[in-house]
Amino acid sequence: MVMKINEIEYSISNKIINYEDSIEIMESRVEHISSKKKPELLWFLEHPSIYTAGTSSIDSDLLKKNKFPVYKTSRGGEYTYHGPGQRIVYIMINLRERNYDIRKFVNKLENWIIQSLEDIGVKSQLINGKVGVWINNNDQPEEKIASIGLRVRKGITFHGISINVNPNLDHFDGIISCGNKGNGVTSLKKLGIILPNKKIDEVLLKNFEKNFRVNTKFTQIQS
């Protein structure tokens, strides 16, 4: 199969996707990308309420062990929450083909999120020494609105980003999210922005195409 480096696929799952199923689908896609049987992919989805523990997680950051199922995962980072109302984009990109190192790629993802949030009326920022995208609360501690956690296999990324659209923010109280003691979490809804996932996805796709200089085409994946 001849792949066009300036074209990638995207898929949107409108039903809640179990975490274990998503891992299986991503790992399969990575193998297909590596063997050039399928193109790179952005996958938009939501999970049921769960906690995931990245490769840098520590047990003491799990505050309520029985609140939600906990999954050990191969992505980088610490504990995080996924659930309804949080938009996840899993990103399967061939870093070797695109001549990206992981640091450059993460920086491009951060800029992609910040630009997309700005386009829907939210000013966000990075914080030195902390991963993710944050909202400045003036004289109050910053609150996190988006997370990034990746794994690279055979030069291809998987896992990705999450943006808090309108999740139940109380669900984060079972963990120290991403190891950030003293900082809270926020959402578009908490900031007064009410938008459907369809609009969020459109903005993210537009800015991904712009920032990464690619075209996207829709595909339906089995989930």
d(CA 100, CA 106): 10
User: Encoding tokens for residue 121?
Assistant: 């009326």
CB half-sphere exposure, 183, CA atoms < 13 A: 19
- Cα radius of gyration (the chain): 17
Active site residue 88: no
> The tokens of 83 are what?
């659930």
The active-site residue out of 17, 70, 148, 178 is 178
DSSP state of 62: B
* Residues 130/180, Cβ–Cβ less than 8 Å: yes
**DSSP string spanning 166-208?**
S--GGGGGGB-GGG-TT-EE--TTTTT----HHHHHHHHHHHH
Q: Is 87 helix (H, G, I), strand (E, B) or coil?
A: strand
User: Which residues are catalytic, by number?
Assistant: 178
